[in-house]
């Protein structure tokens, strides 16, 4: 099984209180019914590096200094929260930047289940990967055998399959060959509520 963190991990001790302060924005989400689940460090892909054939793989994705937290209501993944470190230099404190009721929470949970059921994921570290220019969200697995990506949300035009693990070079080549960057994706995307400062 892949290595996953939860809000019970000591390094994330502050997350519960910060997230709970923002849950009041959503009617019908009583704190009694809420369970904070997996915590995924967030990395973002930069389009300029992805399309540059000279850019090394280790520079394609940057640590966003943020985490994504899956939120279950009535035992179903319905919400997610995004938090960033208040003080990036010391790594202390967290600030809620977004909390949303969104279908992406269910898609991410399905991806986590697929990863956990994959025997090749033993001891791999799991992070959430976003490539905003391509409207792409995936799970990035890192381990002794390199990195691979399981797509979670993506435009059809990218030509990937949500049940297939891709090497970084394979997924990078799909980004390069697509004409998605800068266009609105096909289909509707859910509205996301922004947390105020």
Q: Where along the chain do its domains lie?
A: 5-177
Per-residue model confidence (pLDDT) at position 160:
95
Query: Has residue 188 got a pLDDT over 70?
Result: no
Portion of the chain with pLDDT greater than 90, in percent: 57
**Residue 143 contacts by C-beta under 8 Å, 6 or more apart in sequence?**
121, 123, 124, 125
Tell me the whole-structure pTM to 2 decimals.
0.85
pLDDT tens, residue by residue, 52-100: 989 998 889 999 999 999 999 889 999 999 999 987 666 568 999 999 8
**Residue 161 contacts by C-beta under 8 Å, 6 or more apart in sequence?**
151
18-24 mean pLDDT: 83
pLDDT tens, residue by residue, 163-181: 999 999 999 999 988 887 6
120-140 mean pLDDT: 94
128-150 mean pLDDT: 94
Per-residue model confidence (pLDDT) at position 179:
80
Measured at the CA of 178, the angle between CA 172 and CA 180, to 5 degrees, comes to 110
Per-residue model confidence (pLDDT) at position 34:
86
Mean pLDDT of the chain: 86
Paired residues of 129 in beta bridges: 43, 138
Question: Which residue, among 39, 53, 50, 48, has the nearest Cα to 6 in the 3D structure?
Answer: 39
Residue 145: pLDDT band (50, 70, 90) is confident
Query: Has residue 191 got a pLDDT over 50?
Result: no
Residue with tokens 């994706």: 185
């Amino acid at each position: 099984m892949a290595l996953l963190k939860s809000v019970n991990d000591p390094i994330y001790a502050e997350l519960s209180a910060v997230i709970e302060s923002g849950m009041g924005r959503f009617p019908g989400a009583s704190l009694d019914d809420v369970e904070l689940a997996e915590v995924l460090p967030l990395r973002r892909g930069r389009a300029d590096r992805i399309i540059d054939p000279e850019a090394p793989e280790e520079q394609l994705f940057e640590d966003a200094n943020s985490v994504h937290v899956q939120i279950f209501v009535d035992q179903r993944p319905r919400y997610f929260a995004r938090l960033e470190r208040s003080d990036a230099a010391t790594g202390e404190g967290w600030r809620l930047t977004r909390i949303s009721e969104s279908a992406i929470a269910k898609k991410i949970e399905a991806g986590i289940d697929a990863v956990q059921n994959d025997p090749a994921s033993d001891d791999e570290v799991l992070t959430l990967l976003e490539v905003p220019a391509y409207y792409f969200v995936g799970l990035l697995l890192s381990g002794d055998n390199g990195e691979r990506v399981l797509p979670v949300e993506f435009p059809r035009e990218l030509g990937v399959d949500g049940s297939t693990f891709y090497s970084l070079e394979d997924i990078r080549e799909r980004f390069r060959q697509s004409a998605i960057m800068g266009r609105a994706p096909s289909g509707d995307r859910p509205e996301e509520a922004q947390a105020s400062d």
